[in-house]
Amino acid sequence: MQAKGITVSINTDIPPEPGVLDFNRIVAEARKFGPDGVIGFGGGSVLDIAKLVAALHDRPEPVNIFFGIGLLPERRTYLVCIPTTAGTGSEVSPNAILLDESEQLKKGVISPWLVPDAAYVDPLFTLSVPPAVTAATGIDAMVHCIEAYANRFAHPMVDVFALEGIRLISANLQRTVEHGQDIEARTAVALGSLYGGMCLGPVNTAAVHALAYPLGSEFHMAHGLSNALLLTHVLRFNLPAAPRRYAEIAIALGVAPEPTDIATAEAGLARIEQLCAACGIPRNLAACNVPESAIPRMAAAAMKVTRLLKNNPRELTFADAETIYRQAFQA
């Protein structure tokens, strides 16, 4: 497409939860085109591909050598991200996630060079997101905030984004699921998602995301849904390690303080369960056709996500991961 002296190449062929093979196909097209700038317009799946295309279309190396933290040396192409879901916060984060089909593992390229030059967040783009995707992506955003707040590397400046993100999403997500055209609620959740994205660079997520990845890799479950199904089980495991932090999260979720931090935090977990149910999130892994026999395999895969497990407030072993999957299986 050409207009006003600008030639534009558009790719609308990016699947949800993309993998390395999808990326290779799309970056090959971009290499032929040689863009001066890249605009990602879509959900997190599209934004992550756009970020990697901008960084790698003018380099010969395969993407897999950049999986990990801080391995990408630079990005020379201008990058804009425009989210159409309220979930990943990818438009402001240094992360891009791909399924590595060779190991059946979701992996991340984490680099400051992947933070876009410009992000344009307009909640009107999210009005058409269907209820189930609205629910899953909104819970993902809330998990970014929760896992950044109760995190070994939590930071006072990031705490501000995290608590406000939790408040905005907890108070408005059900409204966006039930009334997709509610612009006020969509705006609040889009802002909460942006705040969640601000948590990802400096602090990042922890065991909820680490245990969620194998559900995406093996069963192609949507990222937000896999987080939602594990959320309260991981938090219940973590609670003894950070009762004050989880109590503060509970207050941000909208619950009244109880006499002890543990009791307040427990009330917060009940609020999350109630919110997920009200948003139509399935109760457990069994209801999503995940076989119980996959649990040891998923626990082994989750243990490889050390870049996130190291952030978790409580150390988590293979046996703990198995127990958490079993709880999530039959909850």
| Residue 226 in contact with ligand NAD, rule: CB under 6 A | no
| Residue 17 in contact with Fe ion, rule: CB under 5 A | no
Q: Quote the least distance from Cβ 247 to ligand NAD, whole Å.
A: 26
Among 40, 43, 138, 165, binds ligand NAD (CB under 6 A): 43
CA–CA dist 207, 309 (Å, integer): 5
Q: Which does 311 bind (CB under 5 to 8 A by kind): ligand NAD, Fe ion, none?
A: none
| Residue 123 in contact with ligand NAD, rule: CB under 6 A | no
Beta-sheet pairing, 105-110 with 95-100: antiparallel
Both tokens of 31, joined, read 């290499």
| Residue 176 in contact with ligand NAD, rule: CB under 6 A | no
- Are 205 and 143 in contact by the 8 Å Cβ rule? The answer is yes
| Residue 261 in contact with Fe ion, rule: CB under 5 A | no
Q: Quote the least distance from Cβ 205 to Fe ion, whole Å.
A: 6
- Are 110 and 90 in contact by the 8 Å Cβ rule? The answer is no
Question: How many residues sit close enough to Fe ion to count as binding (CB under 5 A)?
Answer: 1
Cα dist from 255 to 63, 183, 193, 306, whole Å: 44, 25, 21, 33
| Residue 224 in contact with ligand NAD, rule: CB under 6 A | yes
Q: Quote the least distance from Cβ 40 to ligand NAD, whole Å.
A: 10
Q: In sequence order, which residues have a C-beta less than 8 Å from that of residue 59 and are 6 or more positions away?
A: none
Among 20, 30, 45, 161, binds ligand NAD (CB under 6 A): 45
Question: Between 135 and 174, how does the x/- string for binding to ligand NAD read (CB under 6 A)?
Answer: --x--x----------------------------------
Look up residue 245 and give its amino acid.
R
Phi/psi region, residue 289 (left: phi>0; alpha: psi -120 to 50; beta: rest), is left
Q: Which residues bind Fe ion (CB under 5 A)?
A: 140
